[in-house]
Amino acid sequence: MYAAGIMAFAPTLILMYAVLRNYTYPKVEQPFFSDPRFFWLFVIGLIAGTFLFAFNAFLTGRTNMDQLTQLIYRMLFAVIQCLAMVAIINLKRFHGKSDTVFYGYGLGLGVGCTLAFGTIFISGSLISMGEDVGIPEYAWVVLIGLAYVLIVSAIGTTIGEGIARKRPMEFAMQAILIYAVFNIIIWAAFSADIIALYICLILALIVAAVYFYYIMHVKLSGVIRDVLRMEGNKRKDVPR
């Protein structure tokens, strides 16, 4: 359990610092978001992620389920998770506010962290029961955990952007589409032999990493500028 916690929380905290450091003190005199509110959303994400993981385990954990049903349930979970995240953050106080994007990121980090923790813990427990367990077996557990943190934090930011732009369902559909693709790859990974499993997990990590990079490093500063203009504000210190 401790190892699973480290493997889930370590990348979460690293990603949190890597993104936020450019948008808060000392990089900027006036932070672009409220630290207490961000961490509250992160904690709410941890709690929500726990319930979502339990729900996903209930949907897909039955051993007598055929592959098509597994896929349908994974698609259903992608929809439910994204809509749950919209419901959590779609409050009037967050509408049309540039800092909402960061709160979506905090929510996504929390949900992604607990999904990663649960997946790592359950998968690690299962493979440790087998014989000849080595580095490759534990490597794919780490891969899937990292992929969950990347993809869910990025879709949380996408959902936050939708709330900030006052177009929540448009951006929720984008998040659902990306997360559905990710879930299809994860489903394929556990529906194939060991070689295909590693190929699919690497592909899932690539999809998650590319989407995270696009949202957090290519798009984020532009989104902040757009929403600030909507608010009637203009700041020259938005990172590029």
Give tens-digit pLDDT for 138-179: 777 888 889 999 999 999 999 999 999 999 999 999 999 999
The confidence score (pLDDT) of residue 136 equals 64
Residue 24, classified by CB atoms within 10 Å of its CB into exposed (0-12), middle (13-18) or buried (19+), is middle
Report the alpha-carbon distance of residue 118 to residue 1 in Å, rounded.
Answer: 9
The confidence score (pLDDT) of residue 34 equals 94
Angle 73-50-133 (CA atoms, 0-180°, nearest 5)?
A: 75
Query: Which distant-in-sequence residues (6+ apart) come within 8 Å of 12 by Cβ?
Result: 109, 112, 113, 116, 149, 153
The confidence score (pLDDT) of residue 122 equals 80
Mean pLDDT of 177-188: 93
Q: Is the pLDDT of residue 49 over 80?
A: yes
Q: Is the pLDDT of residue 135 over 70?
A: no
The confidence score (pLDDT) of residue 232 equals 83
How many other β-carbons are positioned within 10 Å of the β-carbon of residue 202?
15
Mean pLDDT of 191-219: 91
Report the alpha-carbon distance of residue 153 to residue 90 in Å, rounded.
Answer: 17
Q: In which residue are the tokens 């929500």 written?
A: 48
pLDDT tens digits along 85-103 = 999 999 999 999 999 999 9
Q: Is the pLDDT of residue 134 over 60?
A: no
Give the Å distances, CA to CA, from 11 to 72, 145, 230. Answer: 29, 9, 33
Mean pLDDT of 223-227: 94
